[in-house]
Each structure stands twice: as structure tokens, then as C-alpha cells.
Amino acid sequence: MESAEQNYFVGFHVHYYIFTDHPEEVPDVKLGQGHQLTVMTVGSSNRWQEMTLRRMERLEKLIESRLVNEADYVFSLDVDSKFYARWGVETLGRLVGAIHPGYFKTQREHLPYERRPESQAFIPYSDGDYYYGGAVLGGAVKDVYEVAKTCREQLDIDAAKSIEAAWQEESHLNKYFLYNKPSKLLSPEYLWQAHLPQPKEVKIIRSCHVIKNYAAVRPNP
């Protein structure tokens, strides 16, 4: 939150919604003018995969209940990230995705799409372009709503058949973007991972997942 206040849409009206199963641990951060914070309490789970599987459902409901009358644009971002440089209006668009930092040099046939035909997230080896990171999804409220609603519906269909896509909601997001291209595509500088070396192609890292002790923060491997 502190790094966001220094870099994320500074000078604009921003309403942060933090989803957490430990609301008492959200720190008290001094917010800039026009910025506000709402903590949304969610249930815990004994599987981290279950938490990420519910991401689209929570985004869909948040838009329906609040954002449709409150905001012009929305970004869904991973909470375990830190901002290191400006993130501003250059990221706005009708529908915004980001290239996953782990696969921006990977050949299409080796991208980690869901490959089982029985899943709604299925992408054959002959299809695909980029591998989009699930940690960044944004755009105009109505367009992000369509993404969230569609992915949630596809996730529900898979769940009814006891299928869990390879990378949960990220797999379904990649399927959506295959046929509904984002109007703006962000480079991995907006979605970096701290354990990766910085290649010469990435001149600046704007947002990055922090290194975590997964054994301590995840309930299962």
C-alpha cells in the first residue's frame, strides 16, 4: 500500500479494495488526497488454489454491487506485489492484460495453457499468442465485468465436472483473451517476479511480486 501511494495513479481518484481473510492485519496506511481504502473480508480455505479460483467471482460481485456506479476503470491486482515506478494513465484502455514475465520468450507450443479438451479453458497446441498473467486484469468497468462473469461461468462448468484448470482462473483468462483480445497489452515490467533475473529487454520494473515463504503463507503446497 505504501509503494502504491507513491507510484499508482498518483493525483487521480483511487479506491482500493483489499480482499483478505485476515482483515485485522491490514495496516493503517496514510492515503493521499482522493484515495480511499475498503477492506473486504473473505473466507479462508485449506487450499490456496481455492482462493485464486474465487477471484473472478469476487471481482464480478464487486462490480455489480459497487463499481458499476462508482468507477470508470478497474484493475484487479495481486496483493503480494510492490510498486517500484510510476503506474499511470498509460495503462488505461477498454480491456487491459499483461504478458506473464515467466513466459514472454516462450514458444507457443510450450506455453502453460490448459491442454485438456474437457476443460472450458482448453487451448490446443496450434492456437494461442501470448501467455497472460492472471495477476493483472484491468480496463473499463463494463469490459472487465464481461471477463469476470464469463470466466466465473466457465470455472463453474469445470467445477461441476470436478475439473480444475492447470493454473486456475489464469487459464480461463488466457482462453478469454485468445478470442477477445485486450485493447492494451502491458509488458512484463508491470508484472515482474522478484526471483527472476531482469533481462535487457525489461528496462524498468514497475510492479513486482515479492519473494515469499510459501510454507508460511500457503495452507498447502
Active-site residues, by number, are 170
Contacts 24+ apart (CB under 8 A), 79-82: 79/18, 79/19, 79/20, 80/209, 80/210, 80/212, 81/135, 81/207, 81/208, 81/209, 81/210, 82/3, 82/207, 82/208, 82/210
CA atoms within 13 Å, Cβ hemisphere of 175:
26
Task: Provide, for the chain, the percentages of residues in helix, strand and coil under a 3-state DSSP scheme, each rounded to the nearest 5.
Answer: 35, 20, 45
What does DSSP assign to residue 186? E
3-state secondary structure of 192: strand
Please tell me the distance from the alpha carbon of residue 119 to that of residue 108, in angstroms, as a whole number: 19
Please tell me the distance from the alpha carbon of residue 162 to that of residue 119, in angstroms, as a whole number: 10
Distances in Å between the Cα of 95 and the Cα atoms of 109, 139, 146, 184, 214 are 25, 4, 10, 6, 31
Q: Where are the alpha helices (DSSP H) in 75-198?
A: 141-160, 168-179
